[in-house]
Amino acid sequence: MGSFEMFNGRRSGQGKQVAVLSHGFGTDQTAWTALRPWFEARFDVISFDLAGCGPQGAERYDFERHGALFGYADDLIDLLDECGVSQCTYIGHSMSGMIGALAAIARPDLFERLVLIGASPRYLDDVDYTGGFKPQDLEGLFQSMSANYQAWVAGFAPMVVGVDDSAVIADFSNTLFQMRPDIALNTSRTIFTSDLRGSAAQVAKPVHVIQTAVDVAVPVQVGQWLAKAIDGATLDVIDAAGHLPHMTAADAVIGILEQRLGGAAH
């Protein structure tokens, strides 16, 4: 089985230039439903489900390979090579932001530009760095996930969605429940304990960072740090709350995409 089939790949759209949509933790490629029509009108669109996510996600997950974000970056490179992509506009949400950054460092030929939505190179606070979490916060998170995954999802989903949008909270809860609890726990450990600040500065492609003003998972300071660390990066802060703006504030995200990618789509 090839990577495209293995990761539940989907390809559609009217454009010649390729756009790759890569979702974040706890969602799957259905997270792009609100943005997909905009992309399909302009691009040749590829989406897929990350290892561990979506239907049959457990079959694609390898505890060793996916114990670091580099394993997901390898998956992405394999998928792009298999699809014959020579250059793409890459849109990565949350954990997929840094996955795309790592892939673009390893194989810059595959990427024309990157759009990072709610991305973070490090979630733990550090000296002169606001990540948003302290070690005890993460221990509490992991313990809650281990103790009662269903109860954890019931609290985590509305907190991360960050706005009173019952449809998105239901969608996010459903895709979280699709994840096998041990895989969800291991994935969250992989994400929350990563520190890719050293890699961020190595990205040598145009990068557009999109961030909401209030995000429980990724404080606005992280978006500011990323935009400063990556040479020439732009930062757009949406006057909205929540970690899933592509689902809860799609019009605002599309407005930014029009501005940043409008000239790129043909």
pLDDT digits (tens, 9 = 90+) for 211-228: 999 999 999 999 999 999
End-to-end Cα separation, the chain, in angstroms: 32
Q: Residue 167 pLDDT > 90, yes or no?
A: yes
Q: What is the rounded distance in angstroms from the CA atom of residue 238 to the CA atom of residue 210?
A: 7
Q: What is the pLDDT, as a whole number, of residue 230?
A: 97
Q: What is the pLDDT, as a whole number, of residue 138?
A: 96
**Overall average pLDDT of the 238-246 stretch:** 98
Whole-prediction pTM: 0.97
The rounded mean pLDDT for the chain is 97
H helix runs in the chain, sequence order: 3-6, 36-40, 69-82, 95-106, 135-147, 149-161, 166-178, 181-192, 197-200, 220-229, 245-248, 250-261
Q: What is the pLDDT, as a whole number, of residue 262?
A: 81
pLDDT digits (tens, 9 = 90+) for 43-75: 999 999 999 999 989 999 999 999 999 999 999
Q: What is the pLDDT, as a whole number, of residue 265?
A: 59
**What residues are annotated to the active site?**
94, 215, 243
